[in-house]
Amino acid sequence: MEASVERLVFVREDEFTVARMTAEGGPGFVAAGRALAGVQPGETLRLTGEWGEHPRHGRRFTATACERVTPSTVPAIRAYLGSGLIRGIGPRLAHAIVGRFGEHTLEVIDKEPDRLREVIQIGPGRQAQIVQAWQEQQSVAALMLVLQGFGLSPLLAAKIYQAFGEQAGEVLATDPYRLIGRVRGIAFGIADRIALRSGVPERSPQRIEAAILDRLESAGVRAGHCFLPLTALLAETAELIDQDRALIRRSLDALAAERRVVVEALSGQTVVYPKEQHSREVSLAAQLTRLLRAGSTLPLRAYEEDARLHDDQRAAMTLALTCTVSILTGGPGCGKSHTVRAIAAAVRAMGGTVTLAAPTGKAAKRLSELTGLPAMTVHRMLAHTPDESSLFSDTPVRADLIVVDEASMLDLHLATRLVAAIPSGSHLLLVGDSDQLPSIGPGSVLADLLDVAEIPRVRLTHVFRQAGDSGIVQAAHRVRAGELPVLPGRGGFWFEEVDDPAEVAERVIHLATVAIPRKQNIPPGQVQVLCPMRRGTTGTSEIGRAIQDRLNPARDKLPEHWSGSSVFRPGDRVMPIRNNYDKNVFNGETATVTAVLPQDRLIRLTTDDGRPVEYGFDELDDLTHCYAISVHRAQGSEYPFVVAPLVNEAGGVMLRRRLLYTLITRARSWVVLVGQRDALQLAVRRLGGRRNTGLSRRLHQP
């Protein structure tokens, strides 16, 4: 049958889609199936399948095949144009256009676009916008057909077009490996499927080089490694493409000759770096050495010392004031923030200048609240250097003392830009908890620097009495020491034992949306759900979707937009997961969706500091919802109440001591863990491996 998509009801991560449909001259109905992946409201579809009864949702059509067709009737054309599929046309303008051209409307837009000016509301600018959007829509539709031929998701078509524009078809036909890293959702496996079906030989150098680069890139994204040992790289690549290691080594040598990778001896083994990671690591080591060897320009004068400082806090102050690079570490309740405040006050009393910064907006705001001093993100401090691949900032950081809090979050890229921007003679104080998770991006900068004995550091170990009374602080210090917290808990820490993962998820959702807000008389927005994993019954995707449906469900006549398996509605809390210098937003900031505008194909946000931002529908991969987030995403943030599932799903691959420690220390008042006791024990017991980095060894070199 042929029917038009009225609205999307549900999209699962595996692309199973449920849509409300309208057939010409018939009643509305519900269709479901993976065949509907990527359909949008307003499209006309030719469906193949069968009718059936769903045990919960009643009668619906299960689609086994779906073909997009050009709408031919006046109502279908009006619905198509008014749905927002063509940027610049909303329901009112669609009515006017179809009123003028009737069933010939789409033919006019396609072949006689100048006639659009016959509609009184359309001037030259709007006409050009409509024509461009129409051409883009037709190009994406053509790409969908190509992808279907390769057995791939049509959802990738818009992303490929966004990355390559009119060259998208040529890239698919001649060099599909270019899609890797440029199009989110396309890793080597998908690009390789396209290439092999297009006739690229299995032993092609193009294919083998792409596989090598993919293994290196995947090691950085998946595990934060800066390099892979040569033997591991050859083994992983051979397993990926089932080719001889000697052949792979020849392709690796070709990549090294072109300086696309760097092969070098490091601590007695041969390792392979992606070019960018090697350049950054070498540069960071050189810039740190420059700062360490520089004479201090900080004016040392008498100042009044805070009498409340503990001995190790005084030692940290001495290092920060006398050493050009120093590190301050310590767990919760040990007074890191108070120490930073005292150091900053001393520098200002001596006539010096201080800049406080942190890797994310949440961390910077928290630093400002704890110290009573202004703080900013590292990105803003670096004057938003537009070229994210640049190793150096055009604007040096002019301050006598630069303090960077939450330094465990600094990845290799950001640390390199930061240190390169600091003039010789200024003091850099890195503050962080070395027992927390490392950065999301490649590198392990804080841990590497702590391995270098020549870099001065103080670890605060004294837990102040007021903090020591907190169940959160007690639990965190026990976990850090490899001990199980006192169960079920007290004074801010609580463990609720539930074995079944589905029951764990439901209990977490209830606690976050009903139980804790009701008991504490707070809005649900003050309760943050943190999950060790993204996928699975207790992952961020499933739990986050359920919380969104309870706190911000779909409403009649209120626009919403589905992007993949995520739906965006006014009122949603979201977080950018990539830096965007053009929009002046950075990874880790949070914002609220204020409007969804189908006609303009964009959503409007207001960031927590009040800035308006717009994201096009084709940019929504850069946003994630905040209803449930990963522990990694929560680094640098603190929430009044935290609820987290803890289960052995997928073998508990993410359960590590650092992750559990970081999770517990994100809560200010209460943290409630719900799950299996053996999962908690596993997380406490399992340490996790070190990342492959060479920074500390480069700093050890004379």
Amino acid letter for position 111 = K
Q: Which candidate, 174, 176, 183, places its Cα nearest to that of 155? A: 183
d(C-alpha 19, C-alpha 12), whole Å: 12
Q: Which candidate, 422, 459, 429, places its Cα nearest to that of 358? A: 429
d(C-alpha 662, C-alpha 154), whole Å: 38
Q: Quick check: 323 and 453 in contact, CB under 8 A?
A: no
Q: SS3 for 42?
A: coil
Q: Quick check: 98 and 77 in contact, CB under 8 A?
A: yes
Please name the residue that has the structure tokens 């399992």: 686
- Crossing angle of helices 74-82 and 91-101, in 10° steps, is 150
Q: Which candidate, 632, 624, 577, places its Cα nearest to that of 440? A: 632
What's 486's DSSP letter?
P
Q: How far from chain centre, in Å, is Cα 135? A: 31
Residue 189's contacts (CB-CB under 8 Å, 6 or more residues apart) are none
* 226 annotated to bind ligand: no
* β-pair partners for 357: 376, 404
What's 13's DSSP letter?
T
Q: How far is CA 523 from CA 287, 491, 515, 545, 640, in A?
A: 47, 21, 11, 18, 11
Q: Quick check: 46 and 66 in contact, CB under 8 A?
A: yes
Q: Quick check: 692 and 261 in contact, CB under 8 A?
A: no
Please name the residue that has the structure tokens 């199980």: 484
Amino acid letter for position 371 = T
Q: List the beta strands (DSSP E) in 498-587.
A: 527-531, 561-563, 566-568, 573-576
Q: Quick check: 214 and 182 in contact, CB under 8 A?
A: no
* 336 annotated to bind ligand: yes
* 352 annotated to bind ligand: no
State both tokens at 247. Answer: 């052949």
Q: SS3 for 636?
A: coil
d(C-alpha 282, C-alpha 608), whole Å: 37
d(C-alpha 459, C-alpha 621), whole Å: 40
Please name the residue that has the structure tokens 């409307």: 105
* 275 annotated to bind ligand: no
Q: Quick check: 347 and 356 in contact, CB under 8 A?
A: no
* 544 annotated to bind ligand: no
Full 3-state SS string of 299-338: CCCCCCCCCCCCHHHHHHHHHHHHCCEEEEEECCCCCHHH
Q: Which candidate, 459, 316, 340, places its Cα nearest to that of 402? A: 340
Q: How far is CA 204 from CA 146, 187, 195, 249, in A?
A: 23, 18, 10, 13
Q: What per-residue string of b and e applies to 286-318 under the rule 16 or more CB within 10 Å gives b?
A: ebbbbbbebeeebeeeebeebeebbebbebbbe
- Crossing angle of helices 501-510 and 540-551, in 10° steps, is 40
What strands, in cross-sheet order, belong to the sheet with 573-576? 612-616, 602-607, 591-597, 573-576, 623-625
Q: Which candidate, 126, 122, 119, places its Cα nearest to that of 102? A: 119
Q: List the beta strands (DSSP E) in 37-190.
A: 44-54, 58-69
Q: Which residues sit in the known binding site?
A: 333-337
Q: Which residues sit in the known binding site for ATP?
A: 333-337
